[in-house]
A and B are shown apart, each in its own frame.
Chain A
Amino acid sequence: MADNPYASGQDYQFWRRAVSRTEAHLVDPVTHPKFTLTRTDRIATAGSCFAQHISRRLDALGFNYFVPEAGDGLEPEERARRQYGVFSARYGNLYTVHQLNQLFREAMHGERKHETAWQREDGRYVDPYRPTVAPAGYASPGEVAEARAEHLGHVRQVFAEADIFVFTLGLTEAWRSREDGAVFPLAPGVAGGVFDEARHAFHNYTIDETRAELAAFLDGLWTVNPGVRVLLTVSPVPLIATFEDRHVLVSTTYSKSVLRVAAQAACDGSDRVDYFPSYEIITGSPTGGMYFEEDSREVNSIGVAHAMRSFVAAYTEEGDGRTDMALRREESEAYGDAASIVCDEEEVDRSVSS
């Protein structure tokens, strides 16, 4: 047989073997996880909404979900309402890599920003960089600053003490301050503040910008926490809206493509960074949309379960529930007997039907 570069390939390298011949819910694209999570590892999470699923699952499995800003002493409902425990600290969704690195620089290097409080229509104030985490808002810009200072203390713990940092890249589209380049998670005016074209501008990050910012963040992170390992994922949740003058689906593809490439570059660049393909599991053609809710945007519980099954199997010592050979043989031998029971079963069916 003629030799060729693919001749010695593994099954997972071939679509027909790894996908076409595999049931959709069993497709597992993780091949070479770089590290294993132990129950003592402090696992921190940040990023867009999808990262929350990882937090919840790890917590449920009894892993050490590291939450320095946990809202201790609050009632569970109040904790949830004020977004304690959603991520390791109460930073809300960090959709862009630039938001993440901005938070890092502020927490670790004291970088200051020009806009520090937004007033809402009800007169209350919110933090422009996490405007939804305090539904009641604050009475004054001073209170916002106080709360932020406390928050940044917890953020420092996250960056400095985590053993594993899980970050889900969400978007490339962002609103920034023209004055100092600060990045906001939501456009001014959406959850507070007032949009001012002279002070605020839309920006859609390029691959070069995103890749460089992620590299800068990682360099900074390892400076303060050399041992931390980073697990990157790309959120499979499409953009809810694009500010680009084009179809939201096209913008979604652009955004996710940039993030996916940036994640790969970071992964290729360090043994301390790995990429977990939840994006591929949820959005790939093998599952053909079956993991989205009716709005074709939100990920449903079956999809989350698939991603987390794959995650747990790859990165933990817990339940890779695949069948061992002896068990398969035992079941196989029993199959003929069991299948033949239909003969009795028909009799029973008749008895209950008559």
Chain B
Amino acid sequence: MRERLLQRVKGVLRPVAGMLKPDRRSVRSVPQARPRESGSYNVLLVSNCATSIYETVLKRLCPTIRVTAYDDRTAQQGHAQFLKDCAENDSVILTPLRRDAAVQDGVDENKIIMLPPFYFTGYHPDTVYLAKPDRTSVTTRFGAYHSSICFLAHQAGLGIADTVSLFTEDVYRELEYFTAWQTGRDNLLGAFSDAGMPIDPLFRNWARQGCFMHTVNHPHAHVLVDIGRLVAARLPVERRDVGLPVADKLAHGPSFPCYPEIAEANGARGSYYFKPALLDELMTLTEFVTMCYETYSEFPHGSLIMRNWPPRKTKAFEALILGRFGG
């Protein structure tokens, strides 16, 4: 079921073969939420890690609405309740994945506002997810986020110091990290445009302020506030025009640095300090690599795989380290 849904989402996000971007002409018309004639206006919000911040923003901007909010996984696992909630709310704000599942099961498309997950690798092109043989994620104090360089180096049998020495501009260039910003931007903006919620001007403003991501899918709160404002504008209710900041709850989670070389190329400032989840402390690159090595060593060599990682890059990495470390 989930695989089928994933395929459906990919159908939405993936461009037609041979084209650079999805054909904007094929973007479906944006349905407008129906105004409620009397009583409170009920909104179902289903998103990801950003759900809580979106909920705060919507309530702040739209004081008359009542919001039911939970994350996408909850909606997936409790599909019946999710469908019931869709029926009972005036507007439902869903990821494209959940939207397709809802429409398939009869939810009125006109009440759905699509809100894509925010995923942008431009500042963190080294980040990958690692899967165990049972396809669950390998986690550390940094959640499911890993460094591809660190993992590849571990798999190649390099020591910690040698691995740390690989965090350089040359290596990043070989692994195509310097192209990630522009392709990541195109994909992110495309996803939001396809959902009928273009964020291009907002994105340019965020980028002016430097790195606006804690991790590849955890934007800084002000980004989510801006998007929440777009969502609020789609609700047919009274809106306040306020710009008060909200607490950046995702800042309590893990935060990967934007490496200085990557940052400099993208108009930002960077570092090599990693912040683990829930702790207000920083790890150096050496400490981070050491921690990762301890985790990877718990698994048989070759048993972990990087998700969405092209083999071409692994070959490029292997060619890069060949002969450099006496191997």
Which A residues are closer than 8 A to B by beta carbons? 21-26, 287-288, 290, 301-302, 305-306, 309, 319, 321-323, 325, 327-349, 351-353
CB of A346 within 8 A of CB of B308, answer: no
Q: How far is the CB of B181 from chain A (nearest CB, A)?
A: 9
Contacts of B10 in A (CB 8 A): 336-337
Contacts of B272 in A (CB 8 A): none
CB of A338 within 8 A of CB of B278, answer: no
CB of A338 within 8 A of CB of B121, answer: yes
Would you call B310 an interface residue if the criterion is a C-beta within 8 Å of the partner chain's C-beta atoms? yes
CB of A323 within 8 A of CB of B144, answer: no
Contacts of A24 in B (CB 8 A): 204, 207-208, 267
Bound form: Cα–Cα A241–B141 in Å: 53
Would you call B266 an interface residue if the criterion is a C-beta within 8 Å of the partner chain's C-beta atoms? yes
CB of B190 within 8 A of CB of A332, answer: yes
**Which interface residue of A301, A334, A338 has the most chain B CB atoms within 10 A?**
A338
Partner of B73, one of A333, A336, A346: A346
CB of A346 within 8 A of CB of B264, answer: no
CB of B49 within 8 A of CB of A342, answer: yes
Would you call B139 an interface residue if the criterion is a C-beta within 8 Å of the partner chain's C-beta atoms? yes
Contacts of B49 in A (CB 8 A): 342, 345-346, 349
CB of B267 within 8 A of CB of A352, answer: no
Which B residues are closer than 8 A to A by beta carbons? 6, 9-10, 12-15, 19-21, 48-49, 71-73, 76, 97, 116-117, 119, 121, 129, 136-137, 139, 141, 143-144, 173, 176, 178-180, 182-187, 190-191, 200, 203-204, 207-208, 210, 216-217, 253-254, 264-269, 277-278, 307-308, 310
Contacts of A349 in B (CB 8 A): 49, 143, 253, 277
Closest to A24 in B: B208
Q: How far is the CB of B218 from chain A (nearest CB, A)?
A: 9
Bound form: Cα–Cα A302–B263 in Å: 9
Q: How far is the CB of A170 from chain B (nearest CB, A)?
A: 25
Q: How far is the CB of B254 from chain A (nearest CB, A)?
A: 8
CB of A288 within 8 A of CB of B308, answer: no
Q: How far is the CB of A172 from chain B (nearest CB, A)?
A: 31
Closest 7 CB pairs of A and B: A25-B267, A336-B13, A335-B187, A339-B119, A331-B183, A336-B10, A323-B179
Closest to B276 in A: A352
If A302-B269, A348-B139 touch, does A327 touch B179 (CB 8 Å cutoff)?
Answer: yes
Bound form: Cα–Cα A348–B254 in Å: 11
Bound form: Cα–Cα A344–B116 in Å: 16
Bound form: Cα–Cα A339–B278 in Å: 23
Q: How far is the CB of A27 from chain B (nearest CB, A)?
A: 10
If A332-B183, A352-B139 touch, does A344 touch B191 (CB 8 Å cutoff)?
Answer: no
Q: How far is the CB of B40 from chain A (nearest CB, A)?
A: 28
**Number of A-B pairs, beta carbon distance below 8 Å:** 159
Bound form: Cα–Cα A22–B203 in Å: 10
Closest to A330 in B: B310
CB of B204 within 8 A of CB of A339, answer: no
Closest to B7 in A: A336
CB of B143 within 8 A of CB of A321, answer: no
Q: How far is the CB of A11 from chain B (nearest CB, A)?
A: 16
CB of A341 within 8 A of CB of B20, answer: no
Partner of A332, one of B14, B266, B277: B14
Bound form: Cα–Cα A309–B14 in Å: 31
Bound form: Cα–Cα A26–B185 in Å: 12
Q: How far is the CB of B219 from chain A (nearest CB, A)?
A: 12
Bound form: Cα–Cα A285–B129 in Å: 39
Partner of A345, one of B9, B144, B187, B200: B144
Q: How far is the CB of A269 from chain B (nearest CB, A)?
A: 34
CB of B143 within 8 A of CB of A336, answer: no
CB of B183 within 8 A of CB of A323, answer: yes
Q: How far is the CB of B52 from chain A (nearest CB, A)?
A: 11
CB of A302 within 8 A of CB of B200, answer: no
Bound form: Cα–Cα A305–B267 in Å: 8
Q: How far is the CB of A17 from chain B (nearest CB, A)?
A: 13
Q: How far is the CB of B165 from chain A (nearest CB, A)?
A: 18
CB of B48 within 8 A of CB of A345, answer: yes
Contacts of A26 in B (CB 8 A): 182, 267
Bound form: Cα–Cα A351–B269 in Å: 31
If A343-B73, A345-B144, A346-B49 touch, does A322 touch B182 (CB 8 Å cutoff)?
Answer: yes
CB of A343 within 8 A of CB of B185, answer: no
Contacts of A319 in B (CB 8 A): 173, 178
Closest to A328 in B: B183
CB of B116 within 8 A of CB of A339, answer: yes
**Which interface residue of B21, B141, B176 has the most chain A CB atoms within 10 A?**
B176
Bound form: Cα–Cα A339–B264 in Å: 25
If A302-B269, A322-B179 touch, does A337 touch B117 (CB 8 Å cutoff)?
Answer: no
CB of B217 within 8 A of CB of A342, answer: yes
CB of B264 within 8 A of CB of A305, answer: yes
CB of A335 within 8 A of CB of B144, answer: no
Closest to A287 in B: B208
CB of B200 within 8 A of CB of A21, answer: yes
Contacts of A340 in B (CB 8 A): 6, 9, 97, 117
Contacts of A302 in B (CB 8 A): 210, 264, 267-269
Contacts of A325 in B (CB 8 A): 20
Q: How far is the CB of B191 from chain A (nearest CB, A)?
A: 7
Could you show 27 A-B contacts with beta carbons less than 8 Å apart? A21-B200, A23-B204, A288-B208, A301-B264, A325-B20, A327-B179, A332-B14, A332-B15, A332-B21, A332-B183, A336-B13, A337-B10, A339-B117, A341-B217, A341-B308, A342-B117, A344-B129, A344-B136, A345-B137, A346-B48, A348-B137, A348-B139, A351-B139, A352-B141, A352-B143, A352-B278, A353-B277
Q: How far is the CB of A203 from chain B (nearest CB, A)?
A: 39
**Which interface residue of A322, A323, A341 has the most chain B CB atoms within 10 A?**
A341
If A337-B307, A341-B307 touch, does A346 touch B72 (CB 8 Å cutoff)?
Answer: yes
CB of A321 within 8 A of CB of B178, answer: yes
